Structure 1
Amino acid sequence: MRLLLVEDDDRVASALSAVLGKHGFDVRHARSGGEAIQALLPDGGPEYDCVLLDLGLPDQDGFEVCSRIRRRSATPVIMVTARSDVRSRIHGLNLGADDYVVKPYDIGELLARIHAVVRRPPLRPGAAQSAGPATPPGGSPMVTLPGADGAAPMTLGAVVIEPSTRQVTVDGRPVALTRKEFDLLALLAQRPGVVFRREQIISEVWRTAWEGTGRTLEVHVASLRAKLRTPAMIETVRGVGYRLVVPAG
């Protein structure tokens, strides 16, 4: 089994790699988030069965790395970190982590958790973060996340979203959106018809846990509805979250 260990402390990484190696794992060590992302690219080398991800990395926060991994890969991710607070746990799982292990940990438990996530059925990239099915009603494909290289424009009725330039037009006319409004719209537009949980939206767009941020989400949804001039396009699913509905015709 191939593991990608993302850990900036060489001593910790060396000790853990040695133990994992004795249990039959082939471990590659990445010292930064950028190195981890590069290793998971299609041409970055062999495929990995699991990623062990520390959160305190030198170039970017581990939460951001997890989000970037989940955008392009369905490889199981286990966050292995000293951050033990509940908010961090919730945030990591909402971003798509398959498990969350707090240091110090028992190596036997870590091995069991690795085997557990690897046994799970594989998900399409991004699917771990969705509250709905892998393919939305009607078979609409999932599109590339906003800001990703080579992302194609998304056409949703009269609304066109340009991820590369972060521009939105309605009936050919530019619409001025704030950064968070654009991120919210682009997130929902990934998978029209699929419900995104409130907690997931907060984690993806605001990069924080749900607590105390609910009202902010409601305000941004209301603003988007007004600016797009199609209130029914963003539908509230009571008690769960929101989904984007593409107008017929």
Structure 2
Amino acid sequence: MGERIVVVDDEREICDLVRVYLENEGFAVESFYDGDAALARLEDAGAPRPDLAVLDVMLPGADGFELCRKIRERATYPVIMLTAKGEEVDKIRGLTLGADDYVTKPFLPLELVARIKAQLRRYKRYGSEEDALEEGAPHYGRKPGEVITYAGLVMDIPAHACTLNERPLNLTPTEFSILRLLLEAEGAVVSARELYCQIFGDAYYENGSGSITVHIRHLREKMGDSFENPTYIKTVWGCGYKIER
């Protein structure tokens, strides 16, 4: 049996179609048509833990934002939000609450499947050199499995753990990946496009380019880093981001 995916959407046709596509790819899928039923499932300690959740924003009962917030209180598995076309506020809010990616309706089922596979590859294989080579991620000369340290920041790649001045940082898979790429670049500037392509694949960059900006902002908030005078993640206007080493 493949990874377990929870799909929540009150539009039954969309929910059932996504389920068919995912089951054809070998995933185990649990579908829910309202937020309250999904919330009960996600909070059931005796139920199998999902590997990824796909959450529509607008739901009867608990909405997608509430579901995402509840997930992030106890788990770090990937969350993909489904948002209405043009609702930029929904996208930003979802990413701020800890979602890893968003897909705008209407969408191609194969696009959603591709996003899900990309998220699961990263979530399941942090620190694997072979996986990073498959994804085309740069290594910048760093050996796999190392612990990266910088100015009180300690990133243990195999354990997927990160602390700042001995304080644990509760990072989502996407945030962890962004921080790792910036640290491994050792002061080189990494563009938003490069970050997005290394994390999600380059096929849908134009549909989700703004998500990197939101993830960077969320990372800074968790690290207590100043936007105006950052200690860690610095913006190089018109070029990208860097962590000076």
> Under a length normalisation based on structure 1, what TM-score does the superposition of the two structures give?
0.51
Q: 2 CA distance for matches of 1:107 and 1:24?
A: 15
Aligned to 2:167: 140
Pair 139,51 (structure 1): closer, same or farther in 2 beyond 3 Å:
same
Question: Would the aligned equivalents of 1:6 and 1:52 in 2 still touch at CA under 8 Å?
Answer: yes
User: 2:73 aligns to what SS in structure 1?
Assistant: helix
Match for 2:226 among 232, 237, 248? 237
Gaps of 5+ in 1: 123-131, 144-196, 205-234, 242-249
Pair 98,238 (structure 1): closer, same or farther in 2 beyond 3 Å:
closer
Match for 1:26 among 13, 16, 28? 28
Match for 2:7 among 5, 25, 41? 5
What's the offset of the Cα at 1:32?
A: 2.6
What's the offset of the Cα at 1:26?
A: 1.2
1:17 aligns with 2:48: no
Aligned to 1:55: 57
What's the offset of the Cα at 1:60?
A: 2.4
For 1:46, give the aligned amino acid: P
Q: 2 CA distance for matches of 1:105 and 1:115?
A: 16
User: 1:100 aligns to what SS in structure 2?
Assistant: strand
Percentage identity across aligned positions?
Answer: 36
For 2:166, give the aligned amino acid: G
Aligned to 1:88: 90
1:69 aligns with 2:36: no
User: 1:28 aligns to what SS in structure 2?
Assistant: strand
Gaps of 5+ in 2: 125-152, 156-160, 171-214, 231-245
What's the offset of the Cα at 1:102?
A: 0.8
Tell which deviates more after alignment, 81-90 or 67-76. Answer: 81-90
Q: 1 CA distance for matches of 2:11 and 2:225?
A: 45
For 1:239, give the aligned amino acid: E
Pair 19,141 (structure 1): closer, same or farther in 2 beyond 3 Å:
closer
User: 2:45 aligns to what SS in structure 1?
Assistant: coil
Q: 2 CA distance for matches of 1:240 and 1:91?
A: 24
- Give the length in aligned residue pairs: 153
CA RMSD of aligned residues (A): 3.6
What does 1:216-231 align with in structure 2 at a 5 Å threshold? Answer: none
Aligned to 2:145: none
User: 1:78 aligns to what SS in structure 2?
Assistant: strand
Q: Deviations over 1:130-157 (max 9, x none)?
A: xx875443433579xxxxxxxxxxxxxx
> Under a length normalisation based on structure 2, what TM-score does the superposition of the two structures give?
0.51
For 1:140, give the aligned amino acid: R
Deviating above 3 A after TM superposition, structure 1's stretches of 4 or more consecutive aligned residues are 132-138, 140-143, 197-201
Q: Deviations over 1:170-202 (max 9, x none)?
A: xxxxxxxxxxxxxxxxxxxxxxxxxxx99549x
Pair 16,240 (structure 1): closer, same or farther in 2 beyond 3 Å:
farther
Pair 37,142 (structure 1): closer, same or farther in 2 beyond 3 Å:
farther
Q: 1 CA distance for matches of 2:100 and 2:33?
A: 21
Pair 7,137 (structure 1): closer, same or farther in 2 beyond 3 Å:
same
What does 1:178-189 align with in structure 2 at a 5 Å threshold? Answer: none
Q: 2 CA distance for matches of 1:46 and 1:198?
A: 32
Q: Deviations over 1:49-105 (max 9, x none)?
A: 211100111112212221221111112111123243222222211211111001111
Q: 2 CA distance for matches of 1:49 and 1:66?
A: 14
What's the offset of the Cα at 1:42?
A: 6.1
Aligned to 1:247: none
Q: Deviations over 1:5-56 (max 9, x none)?
A: 1112333322221222122121101233333233233624112121110011
Question: Would the aligned equivalents of 1:38 and 1:44 in 2 still touch at CA under 8 Å?
Answer: no
Q: Specify the structure having the higher radius of gyration (Cα).
A: 1
